[in-house]
Amino acid sequence: MGTPKSNSPNKIPTIYQCDAKGRENHTVVSDLDGSLLIGRNSFSYFALIAFDVGGITRLLLLFLASPLAWLLYHFVSESSGIRLLIFATFAGVKVSAIKSAANAVLPKHYSEDLHPQTWRVFSSCGRKCVLTANPRIMVEPFLKNYLGVDIVLGTEISSFKGIATGLVASPGVLVGKNKVIALRKAFESMPDIGIGDRSTDFPFMKLCKERYIVPSRSSVRPVRQDELPKPVIFHDGRLVEKPTPLMALLIILWFPIGILLSILRVLVVSLSPMSISYYTVQLFGSRITIKGAPPRIPKRSSGGKGVVFVCSHRTVIDAVYVSACLGRMTTTISYSISSLSEFLSPIKTSRLTRDRTKDAKLIDEILSEGKYLVMCPEGTTCREPYLLRFSSLFAELTDQIVPVAVTVKTSMFHGTTARGYKWLDPFFFYMNPLPSYEITFLNKLSSDETCRAGKSSHEVANRVQEMIAETLNYKCTNLTRKDKYRVLAGTDGLVEQKPVRMP
């Protein structure tokens, strides 16, 4: 197995020529940018970190430094260009904040850039190592938690009392000879496969029994998400897309406009009568698409209860948009909502306590008054095409159940967060140029599909989850709010609970 060794970078076989069969006992060492990842430019990942830890000001600083970093990289040394990017992104930032962003923000974007041929070989090997000039603190969570990488060798950043200085720790940026030194320290014997994408990777590749070059091809499609060993279901951060330098510039220029626009939109939504809010929301550039039709609900009879609209959960204002589509005032419930969001909400918001008995009493009181109740039994939002486990409490309290499939499209900013300021969620949603909602009303459950027919509340909740998932082409999961917040923030998701420091 393998290919003849070569001392010339031009004669090294490409990754397309590597046989991936029978590699279970082999060790592979790969460079990151341009090799394991399709993209060679790491600016986008620095930009994601910069915006997450320092907002628009830090992103602006990084953007202004990037032209000089490019010049240093190409005309002075690769090391000097990377040092400048590290300084602009990390200087003065808490190391714990960097770790948190690397764990919660970057995996989603890294996973969408995996080179299919490199991954074909890389995933077939029993022991995996990645070498990179990027800071190890940035790349390690994704590589170890999602790709099963055993060893990550990257540039180490220096810090003082938990604050990053922006400088690089000894032995410096992991390029050239530093990669060779790091690889020799990590392995006593020669690794079986070395993968790189340029001649500067050849020194460390010479330490491997087989060497393969990843050619630069613009037409390469990244690995599909369903081919990864572990899908990225939960992720955080406000930026929707991985920002190229041009996209970063557009975000910087749009930001002050977006702030003013979001304040205007929030005020319009808050002050508009619910009977006309469907039209006023769209008048100010937030689109709503309605599919299906709300069922005709008969007038409340003596002893009858109100209707519960059970929705998939995308943002904090899901219930507001469902109410706008209904054209009438509703009540919604929430496990945790900021005081500002509650104050600005045009519909009544009731807080749940996480005490099942007390929460059941609250919901029963709302329904007993004959009100329309809009609720999201997932308990928290999910950005990816998955539905979290549905709480079955609603099914125990009423048989008037209408499933509602809710989806959201944004182009710049996510209107949700697990680690940031939740009171900013509606503002970030409305900062998008043309945010849009799609609301699909499904058929009201028949009486034989509810607990009245003898079904358990869990069966009913699971059936509603399946109906919404089929409509949206999403996948059902048993994941919960606690699972999400433990992954992203190290908490159980309570508003008053302070995040713990990431390991």
Is 237 within a domain?
Answer: no
Contact 221, 32 (CB under 8 A): no
Is 66 within a domain?
Answer: yes
Structure confidence by residue, pLDDT tens digits, 190-247: 999 999 998 889 999 999 999 999 998 778 999 999 899 999 999 999 999 999 999 9
Amino acid at position 222, single letter = P
Contact 85, 182 (CB under 8 A): no
Helix, strand or coil for residue 438?
Answer: strand
Q: Which candidate, 430, 437, 439, places its Cα nearest to that of 287?
A: 437
According to DSSP, residue 413 is labeled B
Task: Give the model's pLDDT for residue 498.
Answer: 41
Q: How far apart are CA 503 and CA 500, in angstroms?
A: 9
- 187/305 same-domain check: no
Task: Give the model's pLDDT for residue 489.
Answer: 86
- 347/213 same-domain check: no
Give residue 455's Cα distance to chain centre: 36
Find tokens 């949603």 and name the residue: 429
- 482/345 same-domain check: yes
- 318/429 same-domain check: yes
- 204/323 same-domain check: no
- With a CB cutoff of 8 Å and minimum separation 6, the contacts of 266 are 344, 426, 427, 430
Q: How far apart are CA 322 and CA 440, in angstroms?
A: 9
Is 232 within a domain?
Answer: no
Task: Give the model's pLDDT for residue 217.
Answer: 79
State the pTM of this model: 0.92
- 90/183 same-domain check: yes
- 215/253 same-domain check: no
Contact 429, 284 (CB under 8 A): no
Q: Which candidate, 68, 48, 223, places its Cα nearest to that of 146?
A: 223
Q: Judging by DSSP bridges, how do beta strands 401-409 and 436-441 pair with one another?
A: antiparallel
Along the chain (503 residues), what's the average pLDDT of each consecutive run of 10 residues? 49 94 96 96 97 98 97 95 98 98 97 97 97 98 97 98 97 95 95 94 95 90 93 96 97 98 95 92 94 73 75 96 93 85 90 87 89 93 96 92 97 96 95 97 94 93 97 96 91 48 34
Task: Give the model's pLDDT for residue 462.
Answer: 96
Contact 23, 124 (CB under 8 A): yes
- 382/272 same-domain check: yes
- 268/201 same-domain check: no
- Domain carrying residue 390: 245-488
Is 239 within a domain?
Answer: no
- With a CB cutoff of 8 Å and minimum separation 6, the contacts of 131 are 29, 30, 31, 32, 153, 154, 174, 179, 182, 183, 204
- 220/356 same-domain check: no
Q: For the CA atoms of the chain, what is the radius of gyration?
A: 26
- 53/157 same-domain check: yes
Q: How far apart are CA 340 and CA 427, in angstroms?
A: 11
Q: Which candidate, 397, 345, 390, places its Cα nearest to that of 371?
A: 397
- 482/362 same-domain check: yes
Task: Give the model's pLDDT for residue 10.
Answer: 60
Is 494 within a domain?
Answer: no
Q: Which candidate, 381, 177, 344, places its Cα nearest to that of 264?
A: 344
Task: Give the model's pLDDT for residue 162.
Answer: 97
Structure confidence by residue, pLDDT tens digits, 385-416: 999 999 999 999 999 999 999 999 999 999 99
Helix (H) / strand (E) element for 331: namely: strand 331-334
What's the CATH number where 23 sits?
3.40.50.1000
